[in-house]
Amino acid sequence: MSQINMVGNIKDLFPNYVVLVRIGTFYDAYFYDAKILAYIFKYKIKSVSGVDVVGFPTSSVKRVLYILEQKSINYILVDKKHNYEEEEKQDFKKKNKYEELKKEAIFYLDNQNRIDKISTFLKENVDKISIVEELLYERKL
């Protein structure tokens, strides 16, 4: 079974948890969990087989868990080397803010992508900057 499928199975069991998968000296997060971590920590999202993934070194895990706890977000750590066995788990029960932060992350990252596209357009069309400025100032943005 592929790693992404295995993480998908874990997410089925723990849908409102950030699942962190230890792979050697790194932890990876997938799907919406990747978006949440990218939003909180400004990690870069990469796409693996069409799935969003972020990774960070094991030396950062204490800081990551501390922030997740401060934000009351459930998490579970599993280790690929030990057949995805649970290493650690935190459950905030009804105080869990996973869904709330997931919505914030999606909203922020979608808008960030829109800004990036606009920035790319402006860089590629620098000769049209005056037209863009007119539109912006006309609408008093």
pLDDT along the chain (141 residues), means of 10: 84 95 95 96 92 95 96 96 88 95 96 92 85 77 54
Residue 20: in which H helix or E strand, if any? strand 18-23
pLDDT of residue 58: 95
pLDDT of residue 86: 85
Distance between CA 64 and CA 107 in Å, rounded?
21
Q: How much is the pTM?
A: 0.84
- Tell me the DSSP string of 39-64: HHH-PPPEEETTEEEEEEEGGGHHHH
CATH number at residue 12: 3.40.1170.10
- Number of domains observed in the structure of the chain: 1
pLDDT of residue 75: 97
pLDDT of residue 141: 54
Boundaries of domain holding 83: 1-141
